Structure 1
Amino acid sequence: MSRAPTVDDVARLAGVSRQTVSNVLNTPAVVRAATRERVEAAIADLGYRPHAAARRLRTRRSSTIGVHLDPYAGGISGVVLDRFVHALTERASDRGMRVLVYAARSPEEEMARLADLLDGGEVDAVVVTGTFHGDPRTGWLSGRDMPFVSFGRPWGEDDVEAPAHLWVDVDGAAGTAAATRHALAVAGPRVAFLGWPEGSGTGDDRERGWREALASVGGRGPRWYAEEGVGTARAVVERVLRAGEEVDAIVCVSDSLAIGAHLAAGAAGLPGLPIVGFDNTPAAEALGLSSVEQLPERVAAGALELLMGATGSVVAPRPAESGSAHVLVEPRLVVR
């Protein structure tokens, strides 16, 4: 086909009406699953893409998704979120959507920024990042009836069977469990965990994976605490190693802590001590450290699926119902 495919071309190939194709693109929930799959296959075969500008005029929608960008902090932090935003932008573009990145230094400032965006009709949906216990942003968005999905679970009592809202997250416990099993196999039964202080939803979830993997084989190991940062982690590990605590390997809640542990082990004359990080940042790769890869590209795809359906081109979020309001991405362990 020398010209760009049209809605009519899709309808002919799928054997449906033009209106049915429009429904699949704009309100997929009203189309029967078998019909929707046939239309989606035709769209994929033809490489059809709706004209975004025309659609914005027709639907009076912005065709824009807002996402928060953390302030630049330097160092190795923020790499995963940067990859996520990049992937979200690419995948949204494939659906004829744009991504608007906004900055805020606190939840309160973010809600004020969102109020301006929503009142001005500048976004059709929002992706909230970095959720935490008692996060005020999610309740605020729900109260405004604004479609949104969070990168990070709601951290309620049961986020799967009784979800507060749509969410996508990385299975941190599965990642640290894989890291712990690897450490047990290559090093020995004494596997320490270097994590953040208790109370962080993400950190506590990653600690759970370490504990469960150790318990499954009768392994053992100390739990060490450090605030996020290479220097703080190095100081903690240097102190416990000087005190004579012996371990066969260390599993860490982040690459920053893993790098600090690696430097401390080297200073203690243990340069070969197996250490596994989390995030698989370029810094960990450069030092030859094994690490858990979060796969933020899959997280971005999951967020769009929750907001727009498998192949939809407008925001039509699925209901936040038991068992189907989330996408949980299993990370992969990168061994070096």
Structure 2
Amino acid sequence: MAKSPTVEDVARAAGVSRQTVSNVLNSPEIVREGTRERVRAAITQLGYAPSMAARRLRTQRSATIGIHLDPYAGGISGIVLDRFIHALTDRATPRGLRILVYAANDAEEELRRVRQLREGGEIDRIVLTGTYQGDPRADWLSEHGIPFVAFGRPWGEPGAGAAMGNPDRPWVDVDGAAGTRAATVHALDHGPRVAFLGWPTGSGTGDDRERGWREAMSVGSGERSDLRWTAVDTVAAAREVVEQELSAGAVDAIVCVSDTLAVGAHLAALHAGRADMPVVGFDNTPVAEALGISSVEQRPERVAEAVLDLLVAESGTHDGDWHRLIEPELIVRTREAS
């Protein structure tokens, strides 16, 4: 039977010391990025898995991360969180960490579940998802001394601006404005009238994505308020809005706040005889890929890496860097005409 790889094997393959491998697994923030990548590549290549049992005995911690699994809601864009959880699980194992997924219907039930899991020694840290205005979970976790990192900024919280760099409110998020800015710059190559199809105002994520469109339009052709369209996040609503707008006036391209709205806009464009009109979505879902719709990729693998880096870091070791914005990537598909 083949011998399982050891820390020494990983160190030898990466050309580093045993202590450096240990640091990458337990305190990655103190290791240079290039060295971290080399060590993680060696871990993957060798199939090294730290002994979680030994770590639990040494640290008296479960080395298990809890994450809430949202109820199934259907739709197109829900796949993003599934991809994130898969990436988180895949990248936690080489660090000697496990993922425990739990279900709850609301915040109150989730906090009861977290309390039970923590008191039972089943988890010792949390990844928060789906943060929202008035969300009580971050305060509760801080008050009970449970380390956590949020996937998403503290939109709408009182003093949210100050919370952006607060080590008591660590978060990782995708730079939505950068994504829609890149999408709009691309769309402007097809003409100056680029519409933005977004959600109703008041959504932190939606407003951030709209900001990227506004910034690109102010540089590219002068922003036009009549090109800001609104729909709730359903294909039918998006199709209805875009069909009405296309019948009222010409546009050269449409940038959408989500792939759900992009699918609706795409169907409306087909109905209007504008199959060549560029439509760009956000989330890069399989549906967008199947229909040949360009979209902004959130890169959940990089989000997962950043979340894990913050979760295993000790307070005070990041010099105030307790939030990370991940640059998304625009995926352009050839359905569009030049």
Same fold (TM over 0.5): yes
Q: Which residue of the partner structure matches residue 80 of structure 1?
A: 80
CA distance in 1, matches of 2:114, 2:76: 28
Q: Which residue of the partner structure matches residue 336 of structure 2?
A: none
CA distance in 1, matches of 2:36, 2:252: 55
Instruction: Let me know the Cα RMSD of the aligned residues.
Output: 3.0
The aligned runs of 1:275-286 (5 Å cut-off) are 275-286=279-290
CA distance in 1, matches of 2:31, 2:202: 42
1:200 and 2:203 equivalent? yes
Q: Which residue of the partner structure matches residue 313 of structure 1?
A: none
Q: Which amino acid aligns with 1:286?
A: A
Q: Which residue of the partner structure matches residue 262 of structure 2?
A: 258
CA distance in 2, matches of 1:119, 1:286: 46
Instruction: String of CA shifts for 1:231-290, please: whole Å, max 9, x gaps.
Output: 111111122223x12211110000000000111111122222211000010101111110
Q: Which amino acid aligns with 1:209?
A: G
Which one of the candidate residues 296, 299, 304 is aligned to 1:295?
299
Contact kept, 8 Å, 1:173 with 1:206, in 2: the verdict is yes
1:246 and 2:221 equivalent? no
CA distance in 2, matches of 1:39, 1:67: 25
Question: What is the CA distance between 1:60 and its match in structure 2?
Answer: 2.4
Question: What is the CA distance between 1:323 and its match in structure 2?
Answer: 4.6
Q: Which residue of the partner structure matches residue 168 of structure 1?
A: 172
Q: Which amino acid aligns with 1:254?
A: S
| Count of residues in correspondence between the two structures | 321
The aligned runs of 1:1-336 (5 Å cut-off) are 3-4=3-4, 6=6, 24=23, 28=27, 49-155=49-155, 156-162=160-166, 164-185=168-189, 187-221=190-224, 222-242=227-247, 244-308=248-312, 316-319=313-316, 323-336=320-333
Instruction: String of CA shifts for 1:90-147, please: whole Å, max 9, x gaps.
Output: 1001111110011122222222221221222211110001222332111111111100
Question: Could you state the TM-score of these two structures normalised by the residue count of structure 1?
Answer: 0.85
Structure 1: stretches of 5+ with no match in the other structure: 309-315
Question: Could you state the TM-score of these two structures normalised by the residue count of structure 2?
Answer: 0.84
Contact kept, 8 Å, 2:165 with 2:323, in 1: the verdict is no
CA distance in 1, matches of 2:94, 2:21: 17
CA distance in 2, matches of 1:335, 1:201: 26
CA distance in 2, matches of 1:43, 1:191: 42
CA distance in 1, matches of 2:172, 2:83: 15
Contact kept, 8 Å, 1:174 with 1:209, in 2: the verdict is yes
Q: Percent of aligned positions with the same letter in both sequences?
A: 59
Contact kept, 8 Å, 1:166 with 1:320, in 2: the verdict is no
Give 3-state SS (helix, strand or coil) of 2:161's partner. coil
Structure 2: stretches of 5+ with no match in the other structure: 334-338
Contact kept, 8 Å, 1:190 with 1:247, in 2: the verdict is yes
Instruction: String of CA shifts for 1:46-84, please: whole Å, max 9, x gaps.
Output: 856431122223332111101111111223131110000
CA distance in 1, matches of 2:220, 2:235: 31
